[in-house]
Structure 1
Amino acid sequence: MKKIIATSLLVILFSCKNDAAKKNETPSTETHVSEMQKQIELGETLFNGKGNCYACHKPDQKIIGPSLQEMVKIYKAKNGNMYNFLKKDAQPLVDPTQYEVMKTNLSITKAMSDTEVNALVAYIYSHNE
């Protein structure tokens, strides 16, 4: 009888420990998706507002600058770092001939916080074909 009680206590002790550990688990995928969605939404706001990117770029068609879909495709193919480009720390990969036209807007993105530039990049990459 003592063995049964001791075994039961051990089972209860370890099951309580597992419940406590579960409460400290890393955030769920749902939480991660929600955070990513917030970042994309901030990026869209910056793209259409403070960044003035919408004046030259559209999601799926070339206006003055390349489409967002084209930019994502080229940056992925060339393993480019769009964050560094927007911070003026990397050369243009998509259309270097348009670099002079974009310099004014790059001054805007260079002045943005890291959070803002990361959100802008997340928004652009959300237009992956």
Structure 2
Amino acid sequence: MKLVLKSLAAFALAISVSNCGDKKETDAMGNTVDETTETTAAQPETASDPLLAKGQELFEGKGTCATCHKADAKTVGPAIKDIAKTYKEKNASIASFINGEGEPLVDPSQYEIMKANFVITKAMSEEDRKALETYMMSIE
């Protein structure tokens, strides 16, 4: 009987130790966040450009953009690098789009979801919207 209890205790310990590192982080929408995905994109150097730093702060903070957009992975919305690429190719303005002045260029099927965020982005100053655009266009 002691041998069975010792074996059972050893088995339980082995299972608990092996599962400690398997916790998956999720975003606000419950999607699993792939840590390798976020670190593989070229992140801009924000320390040297205050507009870039402000854009990153807004993107990750009160702009709530990071809830739906990741650097190089589609989650709820398209990846930032895909957005930047499309806007560069079409010589279009992200700042104008997030002010509600333009058609969706990247993923029109998600436009209705994005429109709900215009309440936040339209309330921002022109400089804040330009900072967001600067940050997003810096992601490669």
- Normalising by structure 1, we get a TM-score of 0.69
Matched residue SS, 1:124: helix
Q: How far did 1:76 drift?
A: 1.2
Q: Does 1:88 align with 2:89?
A: no
Map 1:55-94 onto structure 2 (within 5 A): 55-94=67-106
Identity %: 43
Amino acid at match of 1:64: V
Amino acid at match of 1:53: C
Q: Does 1:40 align with 2:52?
A: yes
Aligned length: 96
Mapped partners of 1:40, 1:87: distance in 2: 19
Give unmatched runs, 5+ long, in structure 2.
1-44
Mapped partners of 2:52, 2:128: distance in 1: 10
Rg larger for: 1
Mapped partners of 2:51, 2:126: distance in 1: 12
Mapped partners of 1:43, 1:68: distance in 2: 13
Q: Does 1:54 align with 2:66?
A: yes
Amino acid at match of 1:101: I
Check 1:97–1:35 CA distance in 2 against 1; reply closer, same or farther (3 A cut).
same
Q: Does the Cα contact within 8 Å between 2:59 and 2:132 map onto a contact in 1?
A: yes
- Normalising by structure 2, we get a TM-score of 0.64
Check 1:77–1:34 CA distance in 2 against 1; reply closer, same or farther (3 A cut).
closer
Check 1:36–1:99 CA distance in 2 against 1; reply closer, same or farther (3 A cut).
farther
Higher helix share: 1
Mapped partners of 1:84, 1:35: distance in 2: 25
Q: CA RMSD in A?
A: 1.8
Q: Does 1:107 align with 2:119?
A: yes
Q: Does the Cα contact within 8 Å between 2:93 and 2:133 map onto a contact in 1?
A: no
Mapped partners of 1:45, 1:112: distance in 2: 13
Q: How far did 1:46 drift?
A: 0.4
Deviations 1:44-85 (CA, angstroms, capped at 9, x unpaired): 110011100000000111111011100011111122221110
- Corresponding residue to 2:137 among 117, 121, 125: 125
